[in-house]
């Protein structure tokens, strides 16, 4: 099996599963309980929070545990809007955001907020000056993803943060889900107020995530009840999942140090070989792109047909974002870049992990050539 769909989800590290199992079976107490089992769980949760903070180079009290990227994005965007609607109802984002950001904005627009969707260029990169042009007297939030989940374009987060630092009433939210562990991001230097990560994107478990909230920033809670996570996100904490996520992030950063160059070489090999195939168009930009994502189309083929053709050879890739792949609609990201709808409908995404090898890449290219040949015979 060749698994090239790591932007959808990654295979958990063995050590991560072992950690989850141990904590679940031996330290199963509720962290809010007064007895000893609860105290043990609370201590483990605190240690996981401390480790996440150190790995991300932020403060421990700035780490809020959630169920993943979607929840973190919802809390960041809706929590900001609800808390600060008295000083403004204008929000800014881009045309290429993840559905959890875009649909949060759409929901807020139904509640009377105004949303500006800033365009991107042909490489899928937003211009800082376009963000600046969109700012109004009542803007309260700018939300921009770090790495696009479909084509891998890297946004100028630090430059946007420096711009927004001039506006004291505007909070800056960054969806860091696809970038963490692959493309470095200094949260403090980038003047980020709110930042989202998701455990299952770096070999942790599904249902685990973090929302970074800069010290001093106040947003409203969307889930109330027991007052956990400093009253921002109530609900009994997933202690085992958070301990496992902290371990996954530590191991991923070790892999990044050792194997980032190999990942880049594999991506470049795939790009060069795909460009040799008749009808292939590469959508991922050459510069300002992440090392693990490569998006391409093969003219004349529907994406879902090609995905299933590869699957028959035990090769797994995806079409658009995993959250949208079953809708069989053209990618918003590719359309925003000016890609014709017909080509956007045939787009395939390869996404790598540090466990992938050059041998797998070579086998993948053989599989693509075989699938192209077979499907063209059927079409003719």
Q: 173 in helix, strand or coil?
A: strand
The residue from 37, 322, 323, 365 that is catalytic is 323
CA 66 and chain centroid, separation? 14
Neighbours of 245 (CB within 10 A): 31
Q: Count each helix (H run) and each strand (E run) in the chain, helices first.
A: 11, 12
| Residue listed under structure tokens 């696809």 | 178
| Residue listed under structure tokens 């943060």 | 161
Q: What tokens were used for 317?
A: 């890739």
Tell me phi and psi for residue 292, to 5 degrees: -115, -5
| Residue listed under structure tokens 């949760």 | 45
As to burial, measured by CB atoms within 10 angstroms (0-12 exposed, 13-18 middle, 19+ buried), residue 314 is exposed
Catalytic status, residue 323: yes
Tell me phi and psi for residue 8, to 5 degrees: -75, -50
Hey, which bits of 193-344 come out as E strands? 194-198, 209-213, 280-282, 293-298, 315-316
Do residues 359 and 1 make contact, with C-beta atoms less than 8 angstroms apart?
no
Cα–Cα separations (whole angstroms), residue 123 to 1, 38, 126, 155: 32, 51, 9, 10
Do residues 284 and 142 make contact, with C-beta atoms less than 8 angstroms apart?
no
Catalytic residues: 323
């Amino acid at each position: 099996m060749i698994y090239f769909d790591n932007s959808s989800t990654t295979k958990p590290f063995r050590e991560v599963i072992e950690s989850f199992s141990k904590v679940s079976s031996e330290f199963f107490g509720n962290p809010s309980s007064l007895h000893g089992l609860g105290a043990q769980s609370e201590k483990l949760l605190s240690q996981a929070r401390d480790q996440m903070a150190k790995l991300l180079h932020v403060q421990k009290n700035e780490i809020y545990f959630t169920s993943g990227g979607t929840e973190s994005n919802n809390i960041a965007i809706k929590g900001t809007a609800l808390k600060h609607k008295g000083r403004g109802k204008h929000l800014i984002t881009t045309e290429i955001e993840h559905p959890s950001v875009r649909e949060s904005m759409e929901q807020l627009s139904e509640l009377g907020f105004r949303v500006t969707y800033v365009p991107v260029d042909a490489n899928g990169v937003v211009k800082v000056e376009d963000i600046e042009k969109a700012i109004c007297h009542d803007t309260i939030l700018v939300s921009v993803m770090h790495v696009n989940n479909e084509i891998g374009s890297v946004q100028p987060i630090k430059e946007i943060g420096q711009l927004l630092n001039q506006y004291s009433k505007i909070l800056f939210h960054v969806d860091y889900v696809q970038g963490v562990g692959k493309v470095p991001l200094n949260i403090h230097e980038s003047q980020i107020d709110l930042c989202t990560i998701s455990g299952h994107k770096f070999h942790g478990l599904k249902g685990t995530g973090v929302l970074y909230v800069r010290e001093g920033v106040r947003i409203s809670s969307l889930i109330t009840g027991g007052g956990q996570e400093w009253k921002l996100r109530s609900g009994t904490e997933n202690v085992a999942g958070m301990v496992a996520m902290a371990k996954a992030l530590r191991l991923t950063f070790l892999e990044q140090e050792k194997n980032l160059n190999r990942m880049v070489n594999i991506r470049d090999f795939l790009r060069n070989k795909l460009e040799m195939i008749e009808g292939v168009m590469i959508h991922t930009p050459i510069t300002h792109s992440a090392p693990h994502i490569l998006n391409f189309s093969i003219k004349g083929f529907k994406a879902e047909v090609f995905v299933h053709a590869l699957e028959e050879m035990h090769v797994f890739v995806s079409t658009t974002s995993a959250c949208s792949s079953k809708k069989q609609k053209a990618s918003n990201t590719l359309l925003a870049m000016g890609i014709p709808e017909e080509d956007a409908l045939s787009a395939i995404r390869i996404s790598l992990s540090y466990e992938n090898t050059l041998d797998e890449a070579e086998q993948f290219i053989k599989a693509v050539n075989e699938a192209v040949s077979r499907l063209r015979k059927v079409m003719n």
